[in-house]
């Protein structure tokens, strides 16, 4: 049977008891970029990019540029005229090319779309050759209005560690939005959004986070990747402080009903163990207005 899903996604769908419904929803995944998606990309001042480094660790990165920095050249090719800061893992990952996942999101209207494919370095940017393109529903996207500030006199400053600082732990524990990068050995990379009430991400320690997995589109792209490959990357944005926090580490899914019941609305839990944390200041090109 033809399916857009790999074995990890199918396994999670089956365990959650939604495989027939997921098969129907899966018809929305296309190999080409429809005109509406091309227009949406062209209007976005930023995107979230998932990539993997030389150690196959996924990273979620923010990429921004002057409009229109993302342009669909044809129905399977997106040209991106922007590059991340050289300290961002995405910069090195793009140099070698490979699988990437792109998430375009508009907080004000709560719209989002995903485009997964392969990247190729291209002078002052890169090209993505699409293999999967699809929209997601607005569930759990926190509505916010952003003011662009693409130019700043401040030079980005970077700190790295193997665990969260006390300040970072506080930041994460009050977040209502973050992004997940995951990757499958054959299925490619993917960037996804996670949202909920402030405090939905629980900081268990300086090296461990837990968040609830709520009812969604039933495709389980992220959890399917994690099932096949537990390596994952997280990205937190400080919408008022111009900072980003990138984490990479190991994730696993919790199906235990007793543990799940402690988290209101959760259908599963995800436990994430931090292996590396990278905070970049003076880099977020917008702020909440």
Residue 170 lies in a domain: yes
Q: Tens digits of per-residue pLDDT, 208-236?
A: 999 999 988 889 999 999 999 999 999 99
The answer to whether 253 and 210 have CB atoms below 8 angstroms apart is no
Residues linked to residue 191 through DSSP beta bridges, in sequence order: 181
Of the chain, the percentage scoring pLDDT greater than 90 comes to: 83
Give dist(CA 220, CA 38) in Å, integer. Answer: 24
Residue 2 lies in a domain: no
SS (H, E, C) the chain: CCCCCCHHHHHHHHHHCCHHHHHHHHHHCECCCCHHHHHHHHCCCEEEEEEECCCCCEEEEEEECCCCCEEEEECCEEEECCCCCCCCHHHHHHHHCEEEEEEEEECCCCEEEEEEEEEEEECCEEEEEEEEEEEECCCCCCCCCEEECCCCCCCCEEEEECCCCHHHHHHHHCCCEEEEEEEECCCEEEEEEEECCCCCCEEEECCEEEEEECCCCCCCHHHHHHHHCCEEEEEEEECCCCEEEEEEEEEEEECCHHHHCCCCCCCEEEEEEEEEEEEEECCCCEEEC
Q: In this predicted structure, which of 67-71, 94-98, 183-187, 266-270 has the lowest mean pLDDT?
A: 183-187
Q: Tens digits of per-residue pLDDT, 162-175?
A: 999 999 999 999 99
Looking at the 3D structure of the chain, how many domains does it have?
A: 1
Residues linked to residue 114 through DSSP beta bridges, in sequence order: 103, 134
Residue 261 lies in a domain: yes
The CATH number linked to 263 is: 2.30.110.10
Q: What is the mean pLDDT of the chain?
A: 93
Q: Tens digits of per-residue pLDDT, 14-56?
A: 999 999 999 998 999 999 999 999 999 999 999 999 999 999 9
pLDDT at 103 over 60: yes
Domain that holds residue 63: 7-288
Residue 119 lies in a domain: yes
pLDDT at 121 over 90: yes
* 65's tokens: 């540029």
Residue 1 lies in a domain: no
The reported pLDDT for the residue numbered 288 is 81
Residue 155 lies in a domain: yes
Residues linked to residue 249 through DSSP beta bridges, in sequence order: 232, 274
pTM value?
0.95
Residue 180 lies in a domain: yes
* 95's tokens: 């140099």
Residue 201 lies in a domain: yes
């Amino acid at each position: 049977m033809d399916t857009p899903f790999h074995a990890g996604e199918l396994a999670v769908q089956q365990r959650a008891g939604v495989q027939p419904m997921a098969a129907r929803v899966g018809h929305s995944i296309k190999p080409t970029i429809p005109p509406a998606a091309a227009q949406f990309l062209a209007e976005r001042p930023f995107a979230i990019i998932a990539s993997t480094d030389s150690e196959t660790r996924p990273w979620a990165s923010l990429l921004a540029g002057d409009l229109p920095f993302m342009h669909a050249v044809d129905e399977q090719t997106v040209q991106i005229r922007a590059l991340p800061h050289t300290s961002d893992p995405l910069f090195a990952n793009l140099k070698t090319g490979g699988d990437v996942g792109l998430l375009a999101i508009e907080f004000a209207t709560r719209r989002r779309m995903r485009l997964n494919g392969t990247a190729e370095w291209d002078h002052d940017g890169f090209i993505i050759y699409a293999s999967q393109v699809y929209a997601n529903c607005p569930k759990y996207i926190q509505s916010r209005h952003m003011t662009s500030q693409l130019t700043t006199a401040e030079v980005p400053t970077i700190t790295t560690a193997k665990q969260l600082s006390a300040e970072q732990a506080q930041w994460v524990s009050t977040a209502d939005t973050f992004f997940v990068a995951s990757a499958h050995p054959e299925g490619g990379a993917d960037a996804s959004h996670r949202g909920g009430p402030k405090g939905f991400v629980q900081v268990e320690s300086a090296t461990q986070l837990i968040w609830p997995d709520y009812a969604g589109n039933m495709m389980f792209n992220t959890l399917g990747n994690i099932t096949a490959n537990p390596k994952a990357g997280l990205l937190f944005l400080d919408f008022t402080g111009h900072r980003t926090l990138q984490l990479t580490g190991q994730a696993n899914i919790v199906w235990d009903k007793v543990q799940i019941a402690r988290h209101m609305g959760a259908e599963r839990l995800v436990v994430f163990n931090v292996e590396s944390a990278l905070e970049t200041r003076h880099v977020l090109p917008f702020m909440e207005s």
